[in-house]
Amino acid sequence: MSEWLDAVKWDAQGLVPAIAQDAATGEILMVAWMNREALEETARTGRGVYFSRSRGKLWRKGEESGHFQNVSEIRLDCDSDVVLLKIEQVGGIACHTGRRSCFFQKLENGRWVTTAPVLKHPDEIYK
């Protein structure tokens, strides 16, 4: 039953990076980490679940913000050490800064420029 989990090449901390990509637009929304339990629960429930390295525990995306992720596809790369999720981002906000995507810093002429607006203030998201 869990052979597919054994096929993943977990790092020394038992983690792999996971990319969340908007299933409809292809936009990359965020990258977080998964342990075995997080990936198993993601596959079983169809909801994005990660492992918070700072808090040292499972992080069910949306549990505080309400911004859940509905996962339609799970992929693994050729080295089996990076996971790719195709998702629908509930609420349209994946980033803890209140932006749609975490990748809002763009390099322009040797500077990181913020390219996306805050859609909702974090104080309004995390009450």
Residues making up the annotated binding site for Mg(2+) are: 77, 79, 81
Question: Toward its own copies, which CB reaches closer, 55 or 111?
Answer: 111
Selected from 10, 19, 36, 46, the binder of its own copies by CB under 8 A is: 19
> Residue 84: which of 5, 22, 11, 37 has the closest Cα?
22
Residue 39-78 contact track with its own copies, rule CB under 8 A, x = bound: ----x-----------------------------xxxxxx
> Residue 30: which of 107, 116, 121, 126 has the closest Cα?
116
Alpha helical stretches, state H, the chain? 3-6, 36-45, 122-125
Instruction: Show the tokens assigned to 79.
Output: 């080295």
Amino acid identity of residue 9, one-letter, is K
Which residues of this chain interact with its own copies, rule CB under 8 A?
1, 3-4, 7, 17, 19, 21, 25-28, 30-31, 43, 73-80, 82, 84, 95-97, 99, 102-107, 110-112
